[in-house]
Amino acid sequence: MTTRAWRRAAALASFSLAACNDPVVHVSMQLPDDLRGALAAVTLDVIVPPPAEPFDCDAVAFQSVPPDTVALGRVQQVVLTSADRVPIEVPREGDKLFVARGLDRQDDPVLAACASLGTVDEDVSVDLVPEPVTLLSPPSVALGDPLPSTLRATVTDLAGHPLAGAPVVWRVYGPGGEGEPGDAVTDAQGRAELTVDVPAAPGPAAVVAASRWMAAPPEPIVGFREPETLSVPVPVGVPALPRNAVRYVVGRIGPAGEPGFAVFGEPSGGGSGRAVFFAYRDGDAFRTAESPPVPGLLALGLARGAERDEVFTIVADRWIEIRPDGSLSATPLPTSGLTATEIRSVGACDLGGDPDVVLAHAGDQWVALTAERAIAASVFATPPDGAQALLGTGCATATTGALRRVALYAVDSGPPVVVADLNGRRQTVWPVFGQAVGFSRALPGRAAPLLGVEVDIDGFAIARYELVASGAAGLDLQKIGADDAITVPVTPAGGDFDGDGVLDVAAILEFGRTDDDETAFRSQITLGVTLGAGGPHLSGVSREAQLPGPRLFVADATGDGIDDLWIASADEVVIAPGGAP
């Protein structure tokens, strides 16, 4: 059964049940004298909170419940600008909220009120107590600085007058999810002191503070806790190559699969050819080695295996393995005149068969090889028309849930082309800005999306895509989300940096070049933690640093099962460990 409601411009309302003998609900709100002249209309919402997501008046006032959830529970709304009576259907049974807002001539709220009511069994009166719409001035935290443990905020009315005794609540977010909430009350100057239990784990953290009936949704106060980084100097002279050229490989390259990296460059002791520098984890330090010069070396590859990943190059139809101790082992290939200028490992994904497929490129020659040095029967053996370079390879999730092999090619005209092994060869045009592409580690029960950079009038974002089969041989990229960035992101990559089993995304943000021709950059980490139900992901940036040509990789450097950031440059590799909360 429902009620019938009438609303008056003087903010007095009378609600009566539809049947003649049903009880009546009288709802009234007395408008403050100093605001009567500013009001052009009063709205009243009748809201029945969904049983699966119940909320109360405080949740509405502090905006801690998503607007979509509130809208889902709204059963009626009326706007009064005169003394005319307007009928409203109001449920007789169950909990319901009456939310009133006074609007000015620009339809902006200047006051609000809320009251709750359960099942109506007899006549009842509900008095709505109006409260001013507020502004909360949060403190600022410098970009890249950690959150302080004490923050001070000021609460005023719309005219800027401090509000004494105004409640302020806050929630803390960091690696792993939501921390301990808090609350305070403003003093005579409208100031509230927020004592925050700051997350100890490295990465972004945020406080979302709110006063009642804020004029706009609360903005997060974001900080970034720098991890204790580890730097490994690179003694070889790393050549200056285009951004997408592979100078480094990162993986399980130690003799027993220990994490590490390899890079090629001019031999540290001089001489012709190029040497490969090895560094892999050995306890709390890194064990290093340098290979003898390899004449003709132009690219490094990484063949992923079950026990360890193999570092290799291809020169003059020979697959040359570079072992962790720096020694070399060559195997002839069934190719003709192949010295690879690019080598990319695609990965096993969920296709079975070959544990890995390696793509080698030299001029007009494109070859797909298995880790056993054999020609691979691969959809990538023939590149798209006009292909000039490989921008990235890896695994990405299809909408069916399976991981499929993907390669992104730069072509001589037009945008890059995406080729996927999705029930056979399929290809499409890369739909986003530039050539930046990233891949994500597959986490249990989670998608491993392709990552690309979007740009529009609002700025930059890292978009996430899944593969979708289209027709007999077509391919679509379905967007499943995007996270904002403060400038153009490069080398995006996905992993789990806080050990919660949810995908996180990292990227390098470039801010120009220094006088020494180094790149000024920051690392951005976007955790899979949302700021409240339905809110954006928690994202923050590190302090600015300078390195020549930084490039981002993601791998577990410490063996704790949590991904770490590897920032490689011509001079060193800086490892920024992730950490559990």
Q: State the Rg of the chain over Cα.
A: 30
| One domain, residues 459 and 377 | no
| One domain, residues 22 and 121 | yes
Sorted by sequence, the CB contacts under 8 Å of residue 332 that are 6+ apart come out as 317, 318, 319
Sorted by sequence, the CB contacts under 8 Å of residue 367 that are 6+ apart come out as 335, 338, 359, 360, 361, 375, 381
Give domain status of residue 561, yes or no: no
The region that residue 429 occupies, defined by phi over 0 for left and psi between -120 and 50 for alpha, beta otherwise, is: beta
Q: How many domains, in total, are found in the chain?
A: 4
| One domain, residues 353 and 396 | no
- Label residue 401 exposed, middle or buried (CB < 10 Å: 0-12, 13-18, 19+): exposed
Q: What is the pLDDT of residue 563?
A: 94
Q: What is the DSSP string of 11-74?
A: SEEEEEESSTTS-EEEEEEPPPHHHHTT-SEEEEEEE---TTS---HHHHHTT-S-HHHHHHHE
Boundaries of domain holding 152? 134-225
Give domain status of residue 554, yes or no: no
Per the document, the length of the chain is: 581
Tell how far CA 182 is from the center of its chain.
26
| One domain, residues 164 and 92 | no
| One domain, residues 99 and 156 | no
Q: What is the pLDDT of residue 85?
A: 54
Check if the beta carbon of residue 350 is closer than 8 Å to that of residue 403: yes
| One domain, residues 66 and 11 | yes
Q: What is the pLDDT of residue 90?
A: 74
Give domain status of residue 520, yes or no: no
Q: What is the pLDDT of residue 352?
A: 66
The label of the residue with tokens 């009626």 reads 76
Three-class SS state of 101: strand
Tokens of 456: 């529009």
| One domain, residues 7 and 63 | yes
CA neighbor of 91 nearest in space, from 115, 65, 114, 73: 73
| One domain, residues 180 and 243 | no
Check if the beta carbon of residue 207 is closer than 8 Å to that of residue 146: no
Tell how far CA 467 is from the center of its chain.
19
Q: What is the pLDDT of residue 471?
A: 87
Give pLDDT tens digits along the chain (581 positions). Answer: 444 443 433 444 444 444 445 677 777 788 787 777 778 888 889 999 988 889 999 999 999 998 889 998 998 888 876 545 555 667 888 899 999 999 998 999 999 999 999 988 888 888 889 999 999 999 889 999 999 999 999 999 999 999 999 999 999 999 988 888 999 999 999 999 999 999 999 999 999 999 999 999 999 999 999 998 989 988 877 765 444 445 789 999 999 999 999 999 888 887 788 899 999 999 888 999 999 999 899 999 999 888 899 999 999 999 999 999 999 999 999 999 999 999 999 988 886 666 788 999 998 889 999 888 889 888 898 899 999 989 999 999 998 888 999 999 999 888 899 999 988 899 999 987 777 889 998 888 888 999 999 888 888 999 999 999 988 889 999 999 999 999 989 889 999 999 999 999 999 998 888 777 788 899 999 999 998 877 899 999 999 999 888 889 999 998 888 999 999 888 889 999 998 77
| One domain, residues 197 and 254 | no
Q: What is the pLDDT of residue 354?
A: 65
What is the torsional sign of CA 39, 40, 46, 50? negative
| One domain, residues 218 and 250 | no
The CATH number of the domain holding residue 199 is 2.60.40.10
Q: Please count the CA atoms within 13 angstroms of the CA of 504 that sit on its side-chain side.
A: 32
- What is the value of pTM for the model shown? 0.88
Three-class SS state of 570: coil
